[in-house]
Structures are given as structure tokens and as C-alpha cells.
Homo-oligomer: A and B are copies of this chain.
């Protein structure tokens, strides 16, 4: 078992990684001194695989939400709140989310607002949720106007990572999650980048669990360092948005149907590397290193059919903007540069370069 402590404005919490933990969650929360969650929330895909053993181990009721990003919305939150009220949950109770980022974001948000806030435990079952969504305190839902527009900073009381759940994750989702690993490695752990290249594509045998735990916990170490310095994203936390400005625009421009989030981020990393080079922040070696790491995640959904003007429009709606415009994070030779201004025309130019590349 590996563990780390993450600081938050609501106090520190533990992240533990232990193969098989999902099937012995009751014992795990007891050992951690956390009150037993009275409700387990998952989705219709993960529920039968991991929600059921989790609920059984805790002696709790299982709620299954419809699966998919489109259900990360108020009606799902309302549904969860109604179940909790029907179940007689009160302020002192805690709840648990088992699933990918959609589930941890939605259930974390429901926990944040239920009776003005109850404690929750996160059990991420996708690589993306393990290295990103479940740690850092961001919860939320999508509105008609865009992703994550309503939410709260509401850190979990405990995060339990069981890399055995990755065995049931579709290969495509695992690859997409690796884009966040590459991003995190570039921000704060270049050695991890070497480890990834050794492990991926990797021998999926006996050493697998250990390798994944190592990768996940090293990503979380970087994320926790960034987040604890700046929980509410007034400054340095923005580093985590590396690759996300174009990534979000690509997702939005294709109605969230063409890319998995990590796949869009992978394209976003390639664009950010080119922009970093253009702005004199990143040398040729750095750009090459990012390109090589992303290449290992192929195949990615093509961008050839995406209209550059749609991308331009969606970047203009980015959440990370102020009155002076969108703030980009660009890679440098030894990390990232925040608050970079990139003219829309330059973004479109780089986007067109990437389209050319992906056609050839």
C-alpha cells in the first residue's frame, strides 16, 4: 500500500493506493478512521463491476446513475439528493463515489451541497480520475452553456485508489488517461516521463499493478504540490491546465462526442508545445519530447474534420479568462509558463499545422 497526504483549506486528507481495496472498503475506511459511507454512488457501467462489491463491503445501498458526460448535470444531482433524503441521511453522514471523473465530479458536487455539505470518499476507477479528477477538491456539473460551469471546491475526506479497477477499463480510456500523466510529468516530474516510456505500451502482466501505482502516486504528488499551494486556482494551480485550453475547445467544437477528454488534451499538449516553441519558451528538444510522449498514445481521433473557426470561437469562451482574454499555460524547458497571451490567429495557425500533420 502507498499513501500520501493532501492539504486542503478544509484540512488534510489521505490518498491511499492498494490493489484490491475496492472489495474490502469497509475495512479500509475503518482503518483510516473515516465514518462508514451510508451510500455508494456509481454509474450503470461501473456499478455492476465495482460499485456492487464496494457497497457490499460497506453494507451500504448502491445508487447507479446513467453513464456518460451528458449525465453530468443537475438532474443527476437532484436524483442523488432525493435518494439520500429518502435514505434518511443527515449532516453527519458520509457518502462514497465509485467511478470515473463524471461520477466523482457529480457525486462530489452533490455531497458539497447536500444539507450544505456532507463528507465524501472518492474511489476513482479510471486512470483519468485517479491522476486528476478525484484529488484537488474540484467538483461540479455541466450547464447547457458548457462544461463544469457550476460546482464547488469540496475535497473528499479520503481517496482510495485500487489499480485493479483499471483491468476493466477500455484500452482507449487508459490511453486517454495517459495524456494527463504526460501533462503532469511535464509540469513537475520529468523522471516520470521516462518511466512512462518504459512502461507504455507495457507488459500488462505481474508488475502491472505496481507500475500503475507508481505512476498514479507520482502524478498525485505533483498535483498535490500544485494544488496545496493554490487550492482555489488564483495562481499556480493554473499549471494543471497545460494542454487544456485547446483541449476543451476541441471537445466543445465537436459536441463532446468525438474525443475522450484525455484525447483532446493530447492534441492540446501538441499545440501547447508548438506555441511554447514559437514564443521562445521551449527548445526543439522539449518540443520533441512532448511530441514523442503523445505519439505513444496513438491512435488519437483525427482533427482533420474540425473547423478552425469553431475552435477559435470556443477558445474565446474559455473559463480561464479575464477581461484581457484567455490565459494560456505553455510548456517551458523546465516546467510551464502561466498567463501567456496567444493571439487567436496564432492558435488557428498552429491548429492548421496539426491538421496537416494528422493527414499525412
| Cross-chain pairs A/B with CB under 8 angstroms, 23 sampled | A74-B78, A78-B143, A81-B149, A82-B144, A82-B145, A85-B145, A90-B321, A90-B322, A90-B323, A91-B319, A112-B152, A113-B113, A113-B150, A113-B151, A114-B149, A114-B150, A115-B149, A115-B319, A116-B138, A116-B148, A116-B152, A116-B153, A117-B152
Which chain A residues (100-152) contact chain B, with CB distance < 8 Å?
109, 112-117, 138, 140, 143-146, 148-152
- How many angstroms between the C-alpha atoms of A319 and B116 in the bound complex? 11
> Cβ of A117 and Cβ of B85 under 8 Å apart?
no
Residues of chain B with a CB closer than 8 A to A151's CB: 113, 115-116
- How many angstroms between the C-alpha atoms of A151 and B321 in the bound complex? 27
**Chain A: interface residue total (CB-CB under 8 A):** 32
- How many angstroms between the C-alpha atoms of A81 and B148 in the bound complex? 12
What DSSP secondary structure best describes chain A's contact surface?
mixed
Interface residues of A (CB under 8 A from B): 74, 78, 81-82, 85, 90-92, 109, 112-117, 138, 140, 143-146, 148-153, 232, 319, 321-323
Q: Nearest chain B CB to A288's CB is how many angstroms away?
A: 35
Residues of chain B with a CB closer than 8 A to A321's CB: 90
Residues of chain B with a CB closer than 8 A to A144's CB: 82
- How many angstroms between the C-alpha atoms of A140 and B112 in the bound complex? 12
- How many angstroms between the C-alpha atoms of A200 and B13 in the bound complex? 52
- How many angstroms between the C-alpha atoms of A232 and B140 in the bound complex? 21
- How many angstroms between the C-alpha atoms of A91 and B143 in the bound complex? 16
Residues of chain B with a CB closer than 8 A to A78's CB: 74, 143
Residues of chain B with a CB closer than 8 A to A112's CB: 152
* Contact of A232 (CB < 8 Å), options: B117, B143, B148, B150: B117
- How many angstroms between the C-alpha atoms of A232 and B74 in the bound complex? 25
Given A90-B322, A113-B152, 11 more pairs with CB closer than 8 A: A85-B149, A92-B322, A109-B113, A112-B152, A113-B113, A113-B140, A113-B150, A114-B150, A115-B149, A116-B153, A117-B152
> Cβ of A140 and Cβ of B116 under 8 Å apart?
yes
Q: Nearest chain B CB to A29's CB is how many angstroms away?
A: 18
Residues of chain B with a CB closer than 8 A to A138's CB: 116
Which 4 A-B pairs have CB atoms at the shortest separation, nearest pair first? A116-B151, A113-B150, A85-B145, A92-B322
Residues of chain B with a CB closer than 8 A to A323's CB: 90
* Contact of A153 (CB < 8 Å), options: B109, B117, B143: B117
* Contact of A143 (CB < 8 Å), options: B81, B148, B150: B81
The chain B residue with its CB closest to the CB of A109 is B113
- How many angstroms between the C-alpha atoms of A82 and B149 in the bound complex? 10
The chain B residue with its CB closest to the CB of A110 is B150
Q: Nearest chain B CB to A79's CB is how many angstroms away?
A: 11
The chain B residue with its CB closest to the CB of A146 is B85
* Contact of A81 (CB < 8 Å), options: B85, B113, B150: B150
The chain B residue with its CB closest to the CB of A85 is B145
* Contact of A152 (CB < 8 Å), options: B91, B152, B232, B319: B152
